[in-house]
Structure formats: C-alpha cells, structure tokens
Amino acid sequence: MGFSPVSILYVCTGNICRSPLAEAQLRQYAARRGVAGRLDIASAGTHAWEGNAATPEAQEAARRWGLDLSGHRARAVRESILRKSDIVLAAAREHQEWLLREFPGHENAIYLARLFPRRLRAEPPAETDIPDPIGKAVEYYAEVLRLLEPTLPDIISGVLEDVTPEGAK
C-alpha cells in the first residue's frame, strides 16, 4: 500500500525571496532528517511574475547556507496549486489574509509560517511575519533563513506524526 507525500506550500509576494528560501531550507532539513521522500515542498507568490528567478541576493544568501536557488522560477498561487497542498505556510499576515480572501474553502490549510509549529509546542514569537528583504542587502535575506530555522523541526513533526522534533524527549 503506497502513501502520498504531505504537500507543503510556502507563500510570499513575488516568490523570488522568502518563499523559495523557505522551500529550499525545509527541503534540506527534511533530507537531513531522512524524510524528504515523505514530503512535497513547494513555493508560490501572491503576485508572482511567472518564470522570474530568485533575486541575486536570495541566491547568495541561500549559497551561504548551503542551499541552491539557481533553478528556481517564480510561480503565482492558483486554485490548482492550493488544491494539492495539505499545508500552506504564509510568510506574513498579509499573505495569509490574501489567501483566505482569494481562495475560500482552504482556510483549514493556511497558517503563518512562523506560527504553524508554535501552535504545537511553544509560545509564539513576538513578531510573526517574516520581513520582506526585497531591495536590501544579502544579510536581510539570510535573516529570513535564521527566522525560519527554529520552525523546521516542528513543521516536520507537525505534518509527520511519527517524527519527533530534534531534541524532544
């Protein structure tokens, strides 16, 4: 008997900064945990220009973290993409609200990226949005990865019930 991978979709505005960084980071983490084959991780943007590459700064920040965005191409959120997504992780409240407004019927799948794991185990962070680094230095793009890193163990354990977070007893 086969299984279907759990589909996780990260969403930001243009799908050229935050969401592709988050996608690549979670892919790497899932591979390290040995569960990559059980997940289908993707990204899209609320106002993406189809086919755009990740920004040079996002690519450089990714490279510094051992990630590769060179093949990434932006795509816009569509109903067909949401229908295939078990969990949708929005970079900021504005994305969450846009998704809820534009795609009614998916509200049980849409979360803020920094809150999804927190609803499971710990107190929420003081700031829930992932700041948009567009137009800023590479360090701001690396900050996106730094902010998302603590969420990775709980995202994995939250969608794969048999996997415990690293460091959990």
Distance CA 166, CA 169 (A): 9
User: For this structure, is 132 an active site residue?
Assistant: yes
Distance CA 61, CA 112 (A): 22
User: For this structure, is 27 an active site residue?
Assistant: no
| Catalytic entry in 12, 17, 33, 129 | 12
Distance CA 93, CA 136 (A): 21
| Catalytic entry in 40, 68, 86, 132 | 132
Strands (E), 116-165: none
| Catalytic entry in 17, 18, 33, 118 | 18
Q: Are 10 and 22 in contact (CB under 8 A)?
A: yes
User: For this structure, is 129 an active site residue?
Assistant: no
Catalytic residue positions, numbered: 12, 18, 132
